[in-house]
Structure 1
Amino acid sequence: RESWPRKVYACDTGLTRLFRRGEEVGRLMENVVFLELLRRTNENPLWDIYYYRDQRQREVDFVIKEGPRVTQLIQVTFASTPDELDKRELDSLVKASEVLGCTNLVVITWDLEDEVVHDGRRIVATPLWRWLLKPRAGKV
């Protein structure tokens, strides 16, 4: 049986400043991505947003499903260079891709634009600003 746990996101990223101290840019980036994904699901009601966590607590921030099929796995991280990409996050993405049968793997970064191969899987790293401006035409 599939289990899709829930995460909580703020509808206004400014509200998070009231409850948190210090800079948590990565968490704010994840919140922005969620809000944009939610907006995009309004354009295609077949899309659903989940996240993935396995028994070893490896987690992927967003699992995008269109009907019963997983179409994209998205990890969000505050990275500016390939060296700043967390191996643990890439491992989680690859493992989820094997389990869920999805090869469309994306890491949304602060400003890194690259393509990496990790454990034989192609992962596209794209800056948040570029991902937000990406045309919607049938894609997440």
Structure 2
Amino acid sequence: MSTPMDVDNSPETNSSLMNVISSIVITPLMHSIPRQASADRSKWTAQHEQEYARRKREESNINRIEAKISSHLLKLKKLYDDRNNEVVLINARRLQNDDEKEVKKEMKQTMKKIRNRKIDELEKKEQFMEQLEMGKYKKD
């Protein structure tokens, strides 16, 4: 049952981040060794050594970026965990509040029934007393 106070928990809202994360494509680094370089490193030219050193620095930079990404993802995960914990607390409070309101309503209805029953009993007692006074009530 939807009420005007319901929070928008539509799948589109909740899964938008997951769509962004799952749509990320990680392109791997290729050819850490220059393709023209020999398999035997002793036969490499100065240009091959220079290119190899450059590729190692590039690899190191990419690893540093990946470490930052991991750090940010951990922070993001913590934020989502904090959010989820807050939602659990809010939902528990809302549930407790709704339960308390329901119990109060039931108690009020019960008290009303008791009050009405007492009024009915009092009226019956008064009618009985009136009948006794008028002599209409006969004892066996």
* Structure with greater proportional helix content: 2
TM-score norm. by structure 2 comes to: 0.20
Whose radius of gyration is greater, 1 or 2? 2
In proportion to residue count, which structure has more strand?
1
TM-score (normalised: structure 1): 0.20
